[in-house]
Chain A
């Protein structure tokens, strides 16, 4: 896909009012870190039909709303292979996320989605996979990691390299534990700075990745994390022999509508909401913009 190529955009069938959210109910809240909580939710009885029909793919995002406060964009952090409920990991940083954190189990929120493109799972089949995550960047990665692990025989070797600022900032510790126990996966967890109880690795994600040196042969790397980490990870992957086509990431932009209308998430002529959020490094490099 070049910058001008918009041929992949499909015409969506009429699906009623695109701005009208579905009502979902919070089932469970997990305290991940001091500022991150994972919300498990499900469609309520009013949307019973949808509960059965709803599907999404790893990489897609949704617009969650707290009625009376507003709407914000979150990636779906659960895997479509475990479709009995949906999960979003939410960092408390702004108006809507603060309001979400004030909600408890049983509260109703608005849900629009799923929107955006997906991780290229078909292309990844039969390949070795390297997942590189930092901080809350594990949220979108987690969806695809479980997706892949639930179809383990379709993929080759799997490396997961995940880091956070401190042991307290590690998200999804229960998942990290189960990946650690999984003998078919090579999981490396690192923190920038450990505390007195920390026995694991210390060091920045790009450096740990360089040390681990996963082979680029027949491999795909998926990188999600804070922009600075992604920026420093790509050169390391290049050094390891990955081509720009073998590196995949997701971009983050402020969004309102999620469907390519409200305007703010553009990079050049592309809209991150509709043409992304998943891009290869090759695509990002071809953007004429310096705005991502």
Chain B
């Protein structure tokens, strides 16, 4: 397949053309934290500083806070009004790990009952990837089957080859988008070769590794090893950052907001790191911190694969980079005891006495 290419200085023109039909989102640091934000119509300097966003691209489909519907009361009783975002969008510059993460959480939102808010946004969005050429020290994507440069899970994939981007068409959706763009040229053989060189160079740049083979089995074996989990959870401050900013974490809370006779039901990100997450009036199955840390780790590497055949982690390294106490998932996964200490029943009957 022959690739296409586009000069870096033409990116502005390209986005401008798309802006007529789509709302274009690009990496931005306008709000002080890097995220995918609406393009301001002129600035294309983001590839100078952009490595990956702090707020993962999942926020474009499952926003940190999202209005579900509003309700109003009159003499006739309550009236509900749906709120659904139908704008056509382009996410420009999403990294392969984050694109993979979206493909992973698609499972949840399309399984059994379909989630209308997520699915409609997903259908109306074209993903344009930008291959990673400058991974962080904390990245470990290659251990989770993600390459910093790969051509899956997006509609178009761009690779930085100096003054130009090599553009690979992956889906028809992407092809259609390119067809109308006059600034896109055919790539030469030399360009393709350049792209290959870049790809080859990057693959060795992801230094951290963790063995994820059999990890589910190992975690299952040490599930009730309270000593291990207490040790693992010791320095955790339950801030929830590793889950809220994880590109594959999708848990949410549903809340109401009221003003006079009108109100809104919205959902917002929630985290299994908080004890209130599972708290019931009479009891809480995850009151202790070690149970919550265990839930986070086991959900990603054991339970999620049981349900959807894929580990809910892409090795983007955010939970390592952004943790205030340097909690390190790689260390934890590498130190899972291979086998349950002999005859050591760690969670005693007494520990679970308030349960069944």
Interface residues of chain A, those whose CB is within 8 Å of chain B, are 3-4, 6, 9-12, 14-21, 23, 25, 44, 46, 65, 67-71, 93-94, 108, 110, 226-228, 230-231, 234, 249, 252-254, 256-257, 259-264, 266, 268-269, 274, 284, 288-292
Contacts and interface: CB of A to CB of B under 8 A. Distances in A.
Interface size class of B (residues with CB under 8 A): 35 or more
Contacts, number: 153
Q: Which 3 A-B pairs have the closest CB atoms?
A: A263-B251, A68-B258, A93-B281
Given A67-B263, A261-B113, A227 B256 contact: no
Interface string B245-285: 00000111111111000010101001010000111111101
A14 B285 CA distance: 33
Given A44-B77, A94-B281, A261-B113, 10 more contacts: A11-B112, A19-B68, A25-B77, A71-B265, A256-B253, A256-B270, A264-B278, A291-B286, A291-B295, A292-B285
Given A67-B263, A263-B250, A18 B355 contact: no
Given A228-B354, A264-B251, A269-B307, A68 B256 contact: yes
B49 interface: no
Given A12-B113, A18-B115, A288-B223, A266 B252 contact: no
B291 interface: yes
Contacts of B80: 20-21, 23
Of A12, A20, A65, which is in contact with the most chain B CB atoms at under 10 Å from its CB? A20
B82 interface: yes
B356 A234 contact: yes
Nearest to B352: A290
A264 B69 CA distance: 22
14 contacts: A9-B112, A12-B112, A19-B69, A67-B258, A68-B263, A93-B281, A234-B356, A249-B356, A256-B270, A257-B254, A262-B253, A263-B251, A264-B277, A266-B295
A220 B217 CA distance: 35
A276 B224 CA distance: 23
Contacts of A46: 77
Contacts of A15: 113
Interface of B: 68-69, 71, 73, 77-78, 80, 82, 108-109, 111-117, 220, 223-224, 250-258, 263, 265, 267, 270, 272, 277-283, 285-286, 291, 295, 298-299, 302-304, 306-307, 347, 351-356
A6 B277 CA distance: 24
A276 to B, nearest CB: 13
A10 B279 contact: no
Contact of B280 (A69, A71, A252, A261): A252
Contacts of A253: 278, 280, 285
A23 B73 CA distance: 12
Nearest to A232: B356
A23 to B, nearest CB: 6
Contact of B256 (A67, A249, A254): A67
A18 B114 contact: yes
Contacts of A19: 68-69, 116-117, 254, 265, 267
A23 B285 contact: no
A44 B80 CA distance: 14
